[in-house]
Structure 1
Amino acid sequence: MAVAATIDNTYGMLYVAVVVSTALYGVGATQFWLYIRKYHVKDTLLIKCLVIAILVCDTCQQILLIHSVYKYLVAGISDPAILPSVVNTLMVELFFSCAIATMVQQFYCWRIYKIGQNIFLALAVSAVSWTSCVVLLIYAARAVQFKQLSQLTTLQTLSIASNTLSAAADVTVSVVLVFLLQGSKTGFKRSTDLINRLMIFTFNTGLPTSIAALAATICVAAFPNTFLYIFFFLLLGRFYTNSILVTLNSREYIKSTSDPASQEHYSLENTGRPRPPQAGTFNGGQGDAITIRIETDTMHDFHSSTQDLKS
């Protein structure tokens, strides 16, 4: 049985979406400030342009969202005819959301290529992201032409397809990165522990966007007459922005924990007399002192993937 549209589950959800989205935008702005402080000199021009482009799109989307809610909930008091109509800024912001999602997903696809050195795997994941982008652009281009909000239900299939593909791209990116990191384990405890932390971090950064996209898909299918799906969809842009900024800002922290683990030292030495075995030391029995250093470059490759971007 379809859920009837009410003030609470339509304009009420739109208002709540603005409040939550504004809070997340503030978090993203803080992350951007931290990025400027730490990495604006270290990163390549392409990375800095990517970050700025994402923040500009995020800001434009937030402004358009606030304007649309103002039109509905403030201007609508004196002109109730606005309530059932489509405020174009609510539809135009979809283009900026699409741009943010695509840029962030393509960045992660590039990381897949840098870590796995498999161009076909990276292109396959990239294709899913671009397909989601095209479907969302078609949805936005048609929705901006509507006059009444009730007409949006005719685009239910496109909305489901776009959110499903977006969730599929996010899940695929996380799974592929985790799989590649799993295959990079050397068998040494310190490096293995570090890779495990990187795997958890990779999974967690993709989790909010995947959940929001899946929730939007479920809501548009189950409650098409409400704005429940719009609530989750409007948060996607903020989640993507925070995802990439947190990823970039965490490099120094993760690298600092990886420095002690970047090398494993084993000593094979003989002093001429027996000595008790020590942790990390193997007694060779004869010969001069020998030190074997095993380099683990996986961590360097993972972190340099955001620093050595090549056009």
Structure 2
Amino acid sequence: MKTTVDNTYGLLFIAVVISASLYGAGILQFWMYIRRYHAQDSRVVKCLVVAVLICDTCQQALLCHAVYKYLVSSISDPTILLSVVNTLMIELFFSCAIATMVQQFYCWRIYKIGQSVLLAVAVSVVSWTSCAVLIVYSVKAVKLSLLGEVINLESLSIAANTLSAVADVTISLVLVILLQHAKTGFKRSTDLVNRLMIFTFNTGLPTSICALVATICIAAFPNTFLYIFFFLLLGRLYTNSLLVTLNSREYIKSKSDNASREQYSLENSGRQRIPPASSQRDAITIRIETDTMHDYHVRKTF
């Protein structure tokens, strides 16, 4: 593909616009979190949310500064278009921090559901490896003076994005598998787990696709900013993924409860043979105790 202003700085400008929109969505999600869940969550979760939002804000500010420098300040000095504005590279550190914190949060969930330290650590290692590669890439990128030299870091960029996508896909698959094995057969808990499986898959999908597309674009169109366009959106997507996950807990539970009540009503709408009182009482007791204990474990984790 031929290098033009449209597929370089034009894409950079569009990335800022979309990134700002996603940042606004993240701020809205944060406000909803403060209103609904801030008081009931642990201090660790609260600190995680605040840390992610601070990094998200810093990254957005640095990105806006870089684009302003290129597209506004360059009117009087066009040669700046060929150079590296440091803030464009420094924001990579904040993107790395956001991705790692959010992925480690999901690794903690893997541990809570599967009760397997080995499994959680194995997934966590993939995330930390991606973080290490991206830090190496960022350190080398900050030292560059010309944008044309960024192509020399192509292999590191591909490795970082690939590992990030692998980590996201692995986290989603492991959580879905663990939730599948957590089903007890009772309608209420099964509905809840099914909704959590779909929600887990959907929240991990945007970041995985974005990282994979960025990797493909690096290899296919290295002379354009197409891969930068997708990479710059990753931080906002991770932030929104975390906040949407935290804010959707009551929604998922309420939908599950509604589905359970509707199913109960349908199952008991016809005439049925009523078993002896003692047998019925024992069956109800066993069902309630089993369903409640499992439901409590899943709800506390999510």
TM-score normalised to the size of structure 1?
0.89
In structure 2, the partner of 1:215 is: 213
Note closer, same or farther for the CA distance 1:281–1:257 as it changes in structure 2 (3 Å cut).
Answer: farther
Identity of aligned residues (%): 66
In structure 1, the partner of 2:91 is: 93
Match of 2:22 among 24, 46, 57: 24
**Matched AA of 2:58:** C
Question: Is the 1:258–1:299 contact (alpha carbons within 8 Å) kept by the matching residues of 2?
Answer: no
Return the alpha-carbon distance in structure 1 between the equivalents of residues 121 and 112 of structure 2: 12
Q: Matches of residues 77-156 of structure 1 in structure 2 within 5 Å?
A: 77-156=75-154
In structure 2, the partner of 1:49 is: 47
Return the alpha-carbon distance in structure 1 between the equivalents of residues 236 and 2 of structure 2: 29
Give the paired residue count.
Answer: 293
Note closer, same or farther for the CA distance 1:49–1:180 as it changes in structure 2 (3 Å cut).
Answer: same
Higher helix share: 2
Match of 1:284 among 268, 275, 278: 275
- Secondary structure of 1:284's partner? coil
1:303 aligns with 2:299: yes
Q: Matches of residues 192-211 of structure 1 in structure 2 within 5 Å?
A: 192-211=190-209
- Secondary structure of 1:290's partner? helix
Match of 2:171 among 170, 173, 192: 173
Higher strand share: 1
Identify which range, 102-111 or 251-260, moves more after superposition.
Answer: 251-260
Return the alpha-carbon distance in structure 2 between the equivalents of residues 37 and 53 of structure 1: 18
Return the alpha-carbon distance in structure 1 between the equivalents of residues 279 and 42 of structure 2: 46
Question: Is the 1:76–1:83 contact (alpha carbons within 8 Å) kept by the matching residues of 2?
Answer: yes
Identify which range, 35-44 or 125-134, moves more after superposition.
Answer: 35-44
Return the alpha-carbon distance in structure 1 between the equivalents of residues 75 and 142 of structure 2: 23
Residues 80-121 of structure 1, C-alpha deviations (whole Å, 9 max, x = no match): 110010000000000000000000000000000000101100
Return the alpha-carbon distance in structure 1 between the equivalents of residues 41 and 278 of structure 2: 47
Return the alpha-carbon distance in structure 2 between the equivalents of residues 106 and 163 of structure 1: 17
Superposed CA RMSD in Å reads 2.1
Residues 126-159 of structure 1, C-alpha deviations (whole Å, 9 max, x = no match): 0000000000000000000000001000000000
Question: Is the 2:192–2:253 contact (alpha carbons within 8 Å) kept by the matching residues of 1?
Answer: no
Residues 40-76 of structure 1, C-alpha deviations (whole Å, 9 max, x = no match): 1111111111000000000000000000000000001
Deviation at 1:235?
0.3
Question: Is the 2:26–2:240 contact (alpha carbons within 8 Å) kept by the matching residues of 1?
Answer: yes
- Name stretches of at least 5 consecutive residues in structure 2 with no aligned partner: none
Return the alpha-carbon distance in structure 1 between the equivalents of residues 278 and 21 of structure 2: 65
Note closer, same or farther for the CA distance 1:280–1:101 as it changes in structure 2 (3 Å cut).
Answer: farther
- Secondary structure of 1:83's partner? helix
Which is higher, the Rg of structure 1 or of structure 2?
A: 1
**Matched AA of 2:223:** N
Residues 196-234 of structure 1, C-alpha deviations (whole Å, 9 max, x = no match): 111110100001000100000000011111100000000
Return the alpha-carbon distance in structure 1 between the equivalents of residues 22 and 132 of structure 2: 26
**Matched AA of 2:169:** V
Return the alpha-carbon distance in structure 2 between the equivalents of residues 282 and 299 of structure 1: 29
Match of 2:228 among 211, 227, 230: 230
- Secondary structure of 1:10's partner? helix
Question: Is the 1:114–1:301 contact (alpha carbons within 8 Å) kept by the matching residues of 2?
Answer: no
- Secondary structure of 2:82's partner? coil
Q: Matches of residues 227-266 of structure 1 in structure 2 within 5 Å?
A: 227-259=225-257
Residues 13-51 of structure 1, C-alpha deviations (whole Å, 9 max, x = no match): 000000000000000000000000111111111111100
Match of 1:158 among 156, 159, 162: 156
Return the alpha-carbon distance in structure 2 between the equivalents of residues 148 and 229 of structure 1: 18
TM-score normalised to the size of structure 2?
0.92
**Matched AA of 1:247:** T
